Amino acid sequence: MQQAIPYKSWPLPCIDATSHRARSTTTLGHNGRGKDVLNIVSENAVIVLARKGCCMSHVVRRLLLTLGVNPAVHEIDEENEAGILNELGTICKGTENNKMVQLPAVFIGGRLFGGLDKVMATHISGDLISVLKDAGALWL
């Protein structure tokens, strides 16, 4: 596991308030910087970073809901978008090497998972549920 982002591991049997609470959509104000975003990302087992009013984030959220996961959705203002993506890009060196972070971006277990493409592909191949379970977003 990449340790680029500080990640708190959740003790599984313990129902952690953070992972379970239906966190409402948060919006970073004009002070939003990459670091704040990273904090939020690390606090949630599953979080979707999206532009305001993006319909694709709606799709991601719907899909995750069907699986029993209620993801946090974090909306990014247009003006902050470039800055945040930059920060994320430099910090998140996930399996997709040097790929620009596309919005909507899904973070599972504090780690950048990918865009809607990746979520769909993983879902169809049947692996998504195990990934979510591993991150503590799903149990049972």
Partner 1 sequence: MPFSNLPLLVYIYQIWEEEGIEAIETWNVGEQQELEGDEESKLSIALDINSTCAKVAFFIISKSMNSPTPQFVPSRLGIYEPIHQIGIWGENFKSNGNPNTSTSVIVEVDNKLENESETTSHEMLTASNNYKQEASKPIDKIQRRLAQNREAARKSRLRKKAYVQQLENSRLKLIQLEQELQRARQQGLYMGGVLEGSHIGFSGTVNSGIAAFEMEYGRWVDVQHRQICELRTALNAHISDIELRILVESGIGHYFELFRMKSTVAKADVFYVISGVWKTSAERFFSWIGGFRPSELLKVLVPQLDPLTEQQILEVCNLKQSCQQAEDALSQGMEKLQETVSSTVAGGPVDEVSYIPQVATAMEKLEALVSFVNQADHLRQETLQQMSRILTTRQAARGLLALGEYFHRLRALSTLWATRPPEPSLP
Interacting residue ranges for partner 1, rule: CB under 8 A: 53-56, 58-60, 62-63, 66-67, 116-117, 120-121, 123-126
- CB contact at 8 A, 107 and 47: yes
Is beta strand 26-27 parallel, antiparallel or unpaired with respect to 72-76? parallel
Nearer to partner 1, 23 or 58 (CB): 58
Which structure tokens are listed for 98? 């040097």
Distance between CA atoms of 123 and 84, rounded to whole angstroms? 27
Shortest Cβ 33–partner 1 spacing (Å): 26
State the minimum distance, in angstroms, from the CB of residue 8 to partner 1: 29
- The residue among 12 and 121 lying less far from partner 1, judged by its C-beta, is 121
| Shortest distance, position 128 Cβ to partner 1, whole Å | 8
- To partner 1, the closest distance from the beta carbon of 53 in angstroms equals 6
Nearer residue to partner 1 within complex by CB, 8 or 62 = 62
Position 73, amino acid: V
Nearer to partner 1, 3 or 24 (CB): 24
Residue 115's region, left for phi above 0, alpha for psi from -120 to 50, else beta, is beta
Residues forming beta bridges with residue 44, ordered by sequence position: none
Give me the least distance between CB of 59 and partner 1, in Å please.
4
Between residues 40 and 73, which has the closer beta carbon with respect to partner 1?
A: 73
CB 77 within 8 A of CB 52: yes
Specify whether the CB–CB gap between 97 and 48 falls below 8 A. Answer: no
